[in-house]
Every structure is written in C-alpha cells, then in structure tokens.
C-alpha cells in the first residue's frame, strides 16, 4: 500500500478497518481532558470494559456461595482453568492439551527450567540473546548457580554485530552449532523487549534440536502480538504473561506451553503441586505424585479466580476478533508508523531518529523502538504532556506499540505530528 502522511488518509484507513469497533470495548485513559494516544500496550494493555463484570460475577458468587462456589459458581472455580486452553492455543499456535494458565511469568519460567534445564558436566550451557529482559537473565543466573556452574561460562549471550542493533539469525544458529554438545538449553525471548525484534523461533528450535538441546521461549512480548505456531515449530516449552498485549490486568496470570511429546513423559522432573495431580484421584490425598497427562500436570496451586476472570474477559475479545485479523492490522499499523517516522527524517543529512526495530515484516510485531539521536528525553517528556503514553528506555530509546484492538491509524498520524513539532520538522 502507498501510505500518505495526512489526517484524511489515516481517517480513511480507520473507516475501512474491520476491527475498528473493538476500540469501544476498552477504557482509553484521559489526559488533559482528551483520550490519550496509548502506545504502551507492550507494557500494560488497556482494560476491557467487560472486565469489571467478569470479576464482579466471581465476587458475587463468592459472597453467595462461599466455598460452594468451587462447584456452584456460574463458572465453577474448581475446573476454572479448563476454560482457557482452546482460546490460548489459538493465540500461541498450540494444541489445547499443550497449554495451561497458571502462576506468574517468572515463576513459570523457573518451573519449566526445572524440567528442561538439566545440566551435566558435559552439557550445561544456555544460549540466549544479549539484553534479554532482566527477569530472564536473573532466572538463568540463579538456575546455573543452583546447579554449580559459573554464569560467564554457562550462559552464552548472542549479541548484535558491531554497529548493528538487532541479532542476525545466522549468528544465533552458528553460535548453537559452535557450542554443539555442550548446549543444554536455548532460551530466547520471542520478541526482544528493547528492540522489538521477533526472532525466528522455528529455525532456532531446529538448530537447538540438531545439537541435542531443548528450545524454550519467553513470549511476554510475543503472545497476542505476533502469529505463533509453537506446536508446528516443535518448540519444547514456552511461557508468557497476560498483562501486555493480552490486556488481563497488572500482574495478571501467566500461561505455559509444553510440546505434546513431553506432556505424558513422567520421567521429566518437575516441582509438583496438588493441582497438577490426576483429577479423578486428587481428593484421595495419597502420597506419590501422579501428574495429569497434559500441560496441566505442571500446575502447583488452584486457580487465582479473580485474576483469571480478568484474563477471560480479554480472551473472549481475542476469540471474537481472531488472531489472523489482529496480526494483519498490527502489521499495517506498524508499517504506517515506520512510514511516518521515515518522513520526519526525509531530506536531512543527519537523521533525528533511528528505528532499531527490524523492517522485515517477519522480524517485528507491533512495537517500534526509536533511537533518539537528538532531544530524546525532551521528546519523551513532551509527548506525555501532549497526551501520548510511550515508554522510555535508557540511554535514549522511546518504545511505542500501536496495538490493533484499540489503536488507530489516526493515533499513528497524531503521534507523528507531535514528534515532528517537537523536533522542529513541522
């Protein structure tokens, strides 16, 4: 499509948008008496208007039934987690039995590493991206130390080449091959939080398996953002949060994926809990853990109902919109944003902004990371004053993420106009 940097063009795209009505299903923050341009769905998604009713229903059932709500609530609490697998599977490209909603993201990452990071003196290394999100770094550091290894030796970070901002796929694959049979686990973020780079998870998985290692992914910035096919890509495991693109509230419940080939394997070690025990004999309270033969077998505790109710409100919207349509609109929003930012630099000998997110459609989602070459903090602070909520990352990067459920092409145009004015390009 031939884009134009005009308000009429942006409004025309919005008018033709088949998903435009979903914006009305969300609360948009108000700044200075006007709806904000909310570009931080990659940090915390907006609240669906239906969330209050979903949570209130559970509060009412708690009030009315007490403990009997486990069996007689409108959505009985005891099997509550069972309402999610099909919806989540459609978002991450999995089979329903391969996914379960439970715990928080880093808790789940540790639990999965218990199962899939089992180092030996020969095979003990973890290969990951440089500048992984800190929680991932800390999880890996504590896991390798727990097993008696030194981080600098056991964790191999693949970094961008000199003068580049993103990591080449061939460098990831060659690093895996280079370390060969010393690699126990390849663990990447699906989408890097800083640059917005969407890694080639299928190729990374194949390379890990070729050297006898497991492949796992933290999908915090990928789930609900980009098209995923975890089962078909043969990934061993993954986990994600629900409070970013999945709009399920601050600190919202997490989810995990474990490939079908692993879920019935009782020899895989895990930290067990009562809620992962075989359902038909769970209440016999017997010794000896017998896991549910699905991803549910990795559960520890019964469901956090109020958090899960908020999650359900968002997933029902995702199911209605469809992940294919959302991914397609998200790509177009991002492409339009790139076009708008390129226009700001047009004709200048020295650029004001460098986009460090890949331009290849297969290597990005909704997020664009702007390396501010001039007036970075001034631009960021002024954006907020003028009703644009973006994200600042030291030393000089502004992250913005127009998401398809509630952002518009007019949002993108307005953002560009404000940035142009601040930089003196209007």
Residue-wise DSSP of 298-340: G--S---HHHHHHHHHHHHHHHHH-HHHHHHHHHHHHHHHHHH
Domain boundaries, the chain: 7-47+322-422, 55-320
Report the alpha-carbon distance of residue 99 to residue 231 in Å, rounded: 11
pLDDT surpassing 70 at residue 128:
yes
pLDDT in tens, 365-424: 999 999 999 889 999 999 999 999 999 999 999 999 999 999 999 999 999 999 999 987
Give the mean pLDDT of 177-199: 98
In eight-state DSSP terms, residue 90 is H
- Report the pLDDT value the prediction gives residue 424, as an integer from 0 to 100: 79
In eight-state DSSP terms, residue 97 is G
Q: Which helix (H) or strand (E) holds 263?
A: helix 260-263
Q: Say if strands 397-400 and 368-372 run parallel, antiparallel, or are unpaired.
A: antiparallel
- Report the pLDDT value the prediction gives residue 425, as an integer from 0 to 100: 63
CATH: 3.40.50.10950, 3.40.50.980, 3.40.640.10, 3.40.50.620. Which one for 55-320? 3.40.640.10
pLDDT surpassing 90 at residue 218:
yes
Bridge partner residues of 38 (DSSP): 389
Residue 426 banded pLDDT, cuts 50, 70, 90: low
Q: How far is CA 4 from CA 1, 9, 129, 151, in A?
A: 10, 6, 36, 50
The tokens for 289 are 């853990």
Report the alpha-carbon distance of residue 341 to residue 368 in Å, rounded: 10
Q: Say if strands 255-258 and 237-240 run parallel, antiparallel, or are unpaired.
A: antiparallel
Report the alpha-carbon distance of residue 82 to residue 133 in Å, rounded: 30
pLDDT in tens, 267-320: 999 999 999 999 999 999 999 999 999 999 999 999 999 999 999 999 999 999
- Find the helix packing angle between 305-321 and 323-345, rounded to 10°: 80
- Report the pLDDT value the prediction gives residue 347, as an integer from 0 to 100: 78
**CATH match of 7-47+322-422 with 3.90.1150.10:** yes
In eight-state DSSP terms, residue 275 is G
Residue 348 banded pLDDT, cuts 50, 70, 90: confident
Tracing tokens 């952002």 back to the chain, one arrives at: 407
Give the mean pLDDT of 233-260: 98
Query: Which are the contacts of 319, defined by CB distance < 8 A and separation ≥ 6?
Result: 87, 90
Report the alpha-carbon distance of residue 415 to residue 419 in Å, rounded: 6
- Report the pLDDT value the prediction gives residue 370, as an integer from 0 to 100: 97
pLDDT surpassing 80 at residue 6:
yes
Give the mean pLDDT of 319-337: 97
Does the bond joining 395 to the residue before it have cis omega, within 30 degrees of 0?
yes
Report the alpha-carbon distance of residue 337 to residue 37 in Å, rounded: 13
């Amino acid at each position: 499509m031939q884009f134009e940097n005009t308000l009429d063009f942006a409004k025309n795209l919005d008018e033709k948008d088949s998903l435009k009505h979903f914006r009305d299903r969300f609360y948009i923050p108000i700044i200075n008496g006007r709806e904000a341009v909310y570009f931080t769905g990659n940090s915390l998604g907006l609240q669906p208007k239906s969330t209050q009713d979903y949570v209130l229903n559970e509060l009412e059932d708690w009030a009315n039934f007490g403990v009997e709500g486990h069996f007689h609530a409108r959505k009985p609490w005891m099997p509550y987690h069972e309402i999610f697998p099909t919806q989540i599977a459609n978002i991450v490209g999995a089979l329903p039995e391969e996914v379960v909603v439970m715990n928080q993201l880093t808790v789940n990452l540790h639990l999965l590493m218990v199962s899939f990071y089992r180092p030996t003196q020969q095979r003990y290394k973890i290969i990951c991206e440089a500048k992984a999100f800190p929680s991932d770094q800390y999880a890996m550091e504590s896991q390798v130390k727990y097993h008696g290894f030194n981080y600098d030796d056991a964790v191999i970070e693949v970094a961008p080449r000199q003068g580049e901002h993103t990591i080449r796929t061939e460098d990831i694959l060659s690093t895996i091959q280079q370390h060969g049979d010393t690699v126990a686990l390849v663990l990447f973020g699906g989408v890097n939080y800083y640059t917005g780079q969407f890694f080639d998870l299928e190729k990374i998985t194949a390379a890990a398996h070729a050297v006898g290692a497991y492949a796992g992914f933290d999908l915090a910035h990928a789930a609900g953002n980009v098209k995923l096919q975890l089962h078909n890509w043969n990934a061993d495991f993954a986990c994600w949060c629900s409070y970013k693109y999945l709009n399920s509230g601050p600190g919202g419940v997490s989810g995990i994926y474990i490939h079908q080939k692993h879920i019935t394997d009782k020899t895989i070690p895990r930290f067990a809990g009562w809620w992962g025990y075989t359902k038909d004999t769970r209440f016999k309270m017997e010794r000896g853990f017998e896991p549910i033969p699905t991803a549910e077998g990795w559960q520890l505790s019964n469901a956090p109902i109020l958090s899960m109710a908020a999650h359900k409100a968002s997933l029902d919207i995702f199911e209605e919109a469809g992940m294919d349509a959302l991914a397609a609109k998200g790509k177009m929003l991002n492409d339009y944003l790139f076009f708008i930012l390129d226009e700001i630099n047009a004709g200048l000998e020295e650029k004001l902004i460098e986009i460090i997110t890949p331009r290849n459609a297969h290597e990005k989602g909704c997020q664009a990371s702007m390396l501010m070459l001039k007036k970075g903090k001034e631009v960021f602070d002024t954006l907020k004053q003028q009703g644009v909520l973006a994200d600042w990352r030291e030393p000089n990067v502004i992250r913005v993420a127009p998401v398809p459920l509630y952002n518009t092409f007019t949002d993108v145009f307005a953002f560009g106009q404000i940035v142009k004015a601040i930089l003196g390009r209007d």
